[in-house]
Amino acid sequence: MSFSWLTCSLLLGTLCAGYSLGEAETRECVYYNDNWRTERTNQSGFERCEGEKDKRLHCYASWLNSSGTIKLVKKGCWLDDFNCYDRQECVSMEENPQVFFCCCEGNYCNERFTHLPDMIGSVKIRPPPRVPSLLNVLVYSLLPLCVLSLALVLALWMYRHRKPPYGHVDLIEDPGPAPPSPLVGLKPLQLLEIKARGRFGCVWKAQLMSEYVAVKIFPVQDKQSWQNERDIFMTPGMRHENILRYIAAEKHGTNLETELWLISEFHERGSLTDHLKGNTVTWTELCHIAETMSRGLAYLHEDIPSYKGEGPKPTIAHRDFKSKNVMLRDDLTAVIGDFGLAVRFEPGKPPGDTHGQVGTRRYMAPEVLEGAINFQRDSFLRIDMYAMGLVLWELVSRCSETDGESNSAGMLLHPQVKGLFASGWPNKQRITFPFVWSLIQCGLSQMCETIEECWDHDAEARLSAGCVEERISQITRTIGSTTSDSPVSIVTSLINEDLPPKESST
């Protein structure tokens, strides 16, 4: 038995040494960038590859083939990718991609590139020599036994000494193929920096060709959230200027190392929470953010018949509406995202998982905290409207044209709000608005009235998203048409004009 183990060790050492020879060190690659003018880089040359010590470096090339005409897109260094390991030549193996892509190891190995989709099938295996040597006999006789023995020992050791890195994960049920998207096959997509972290995973800023995108990465145990958000984005009619633009969904890795990617448009300003932490807003900016935000939620709640051949858009309840899930464009237009907990209400179909107490606790309506939800469509829409009232209050509390005491990082830092949220709004308490707000800024009293009607303890008394949008729009139009510079005269004009009446959420 000792002879057998010694022989196995020698054979495995020899094989491992042989495999290690296949790894070529990559320090420099040929560089080219077809978009060098817009990206303000060199057009061609050489690129020095840098990376972490435990990561391998490669070279890559990407090109287009239009009716036999080759157009080079990019060349350069590529970060650690197991698909590039031990490739000495830059060869694209995909059958008919939209953009050809190949990678390899070794200095300047991407100088030449080619497309050989049938290269695997053309590889021929050489037959063994007619007269086997002693070494061949030992390898063929003992190697299977050695491998089997080592596998059993390793499995036993892992079973006794290691715990699974995650909790219970159903790996048998596959997330399934990602939905078709015109941009799924485009390469290269390179992660640049982490912009946010949360319970779901993290959000990366990434570059897809010449466009910056956001990549939301879910671990495998959050597969349900990834699937739900992907399905919501794929719902007909979900393209709207105030809804986050979806690009693609992809699955990377296998087993416990599986990562689920959701790719969407990227907004440099980040979320409304991020903006309000470091900035105040003017009254004009407040109205613009509030109006576009309510317009996006109203569209989400709306049931729209067939439009442009896409099929009907059902009513969708967000169920985790908060300032952190509202993105801001450069012009402060609001865009609603994060649909991991959203639910669709399609006629004749069950809404799916409608578990009541989900979302973020500080934004939960009283009926959610009390466990007294009526599991109907309108009930979930009214829960969204309660959260809308709190987000509007955050905006008002950070308005630079209100009194100075209100500019204290809004809901996130306000001591009064901390105590109320921690206890779930006991005894139907609400924040009281300073009386001076009704005089110091035109339209502010009407905005506060709208907020109070959004977070009303009686769910059926709350405003709908469409009514909030109409009210804020009317306040904005009235202020824009007023020529007097006197705040009192503007307030008077608003008080004398009736706001849109309250309507139900149905």
CATH number at residue 440: 1.10.510.10
> Which pLDDT value is given to residue 61?
94
Tokens 């030449």 correspond to what residue? 112
Tokens 């693609």 correspond to what residue? 248
CA distance 227 to 392: 30
Can you read off the two tokens belonging to residue 251? 């699955």
- Compare 209 and 285 and report the one with higher pLDDT: 285
Residue 264's nearest CA partner among 302, 222, 212 is 212
308-360 pLDDT, tens digit each: 677 789 999 999 999 999 999 999 999 999 998 999 998 777 666 655 557 78
CA distance 189 to 201: 19
CA distance 477 to 482: 9
Task: Confirm whether 253 is domain-assigned.
Answer: no
> Which pLDDT value is given to residue 437?
56
- Compare 29 and 432 and report the one with higher pLDDT: 29
Mean pLDDT, range 107-112, rounded to an integer: 93
Task: Confirm whether 297 is domain-assigned.
Answer: yes
At 214, is the secondary structure helix, strand, or coil?
Answer: strand
**Which one-letter amino acid corresponds to residue 168?**
H
**Which one-letter amino acid corresponds to residue 263?**
I
Q: Which domain holds residue 47?
A: 28-115
> Which pLDDT value is given to residue 261?
92
Q: Which of 6-20, 108-122, 259-273, 326-340 has the lowest mean pLDDT?
A: 6-20
Residues 6+ apart with CB under 8 A from 367: 373, 379, 383, 459
Task: Confirm whether 466 is domain-assigned.
Answer: yes
Three-class SS of 255-320: HHHCEEEEEEECCCCCEHHHHHHHCCECHHHHHHHHHHHHHHHHHHHCCECCCCCCCCECEEECCC
CATH number at residue 109: 2.10.60.10
Task: Confirm whether 298 is domain-assigned.
Answer: yes
Beta-carbon-side half-sphere exposure of residue 378 (alpha carbons within 13 Å): 10
Q: How many domains does the chain have?
A: 2
> Which pLDDT value is given to residue 147?
86
> Which pLDDT value is given to residue 494?
40
Task: Confirm whether 160 is domain-assigned.
Answer: no
Residues 6+ apart with CB under 8 A from 178: 184, 230, 248, 249, 250, 251
- Compare 83 and 136 and report the one with higher pLDDT: 83
Residues 6+ apart with CB under 8 A from 149: 8
Can you read off the two tokens belonging to residue 401? 């044209």
SS3 content of the chain, % helix, strand, coil (to 5): 40, 20, 40
**pLDDT bucket at 461, cuts 50 / 70 / 90:** very high
185-243 pLDDT, tens digit each: 445 788 999 998 877 779 999 998 888 999 999 988 888 889 999 999 999 989 999 99
Q: Where are the alpha helices (DSSP H) in 173-219?
A: none
381-418 pLDDT, tens digit each: 999 999 999 999 999 999 887 544 444 334 443 434 43
User: Given 34, 54, 170, 320, which residue is catalytic?
Assistant: 320
**Which one-letter amino acid corresponds to residue 86?**
D
Residues 6+ apart with CB under 8 A from 207: 189, 190, 192, 213
Structural contact between residues 289 and 275, judged by C-beta atoms closer than 8 angstroms: no
Tokens 């952190």 correspond to what residue? 324
**pLDDT bucket at 167, cuts 50 / 70 / 90:** very low
Interaxial angle between packed helices 465-481 and 283-301, expressed in degrees from 0 to 180 and rounded to the nearest 10: 150
> Which pLDDT value is given to residue 307?
67
Residues 6+ apart with CB under 8 A from 381: 301, 315, 317, 464, 465, 505
Structural contact between residues 260 and 187, judged by C-beta atoms closer than 8 angstroms: no
* Contacts of range 67-71, beta carbons closer than 8 Å, 24 or more positions apart: 71/34
134-163 pLDDT, tens digit each: 777 777 778 788 888 888 888 887 766 544
Mean pLDDT, range 118-138, rounded to an integer: 54
Whether 298 has a pLDDT exceeding 90, the answer reads yes
Strand-pairing partners, residue 503, are none
Q: Identify the H or E element spanning 300.
A: helix 283-301
Task: Confirm whether 372 is domain-assigned.
Answer: yes
**Average per-residue pLDDT for the chain:** 77
Domain boundary residue among 115, 134, 152? 115
Q: Which of 79-88, 200-209, 421-430 has the lowest mean pLDDT?
A: 421-430
Structural contact between residues 467 and 343, judged by C-beta atoms closer than 8 angstroms: no
Task: Confirm whether 40 is domain-assigned.
Answer: yes
> Which pLDDT value is given to residue 54?
81
Decide if 378 is catalytic: no
Task: Confirm whether 263 is domain-assigned.
Answer: no
> Which pLDDT value is given to residue 257?
78
Residue 453's nearest CA partner among 388, 360, 397, 497 is 388
> Which pLDDT value is given to residue 391?
95
Domain boundary residue among 64, 90, 115? 115
**pLDDT bucket at 122, cuts 50 / 70 / 90:** very low
CA distance 87 to 109: 9
CA angle 463, 467, 468 (to 5 degrees): 80
Residue 328: count other Cβ atoms within 10 Å of its Cβ.
21
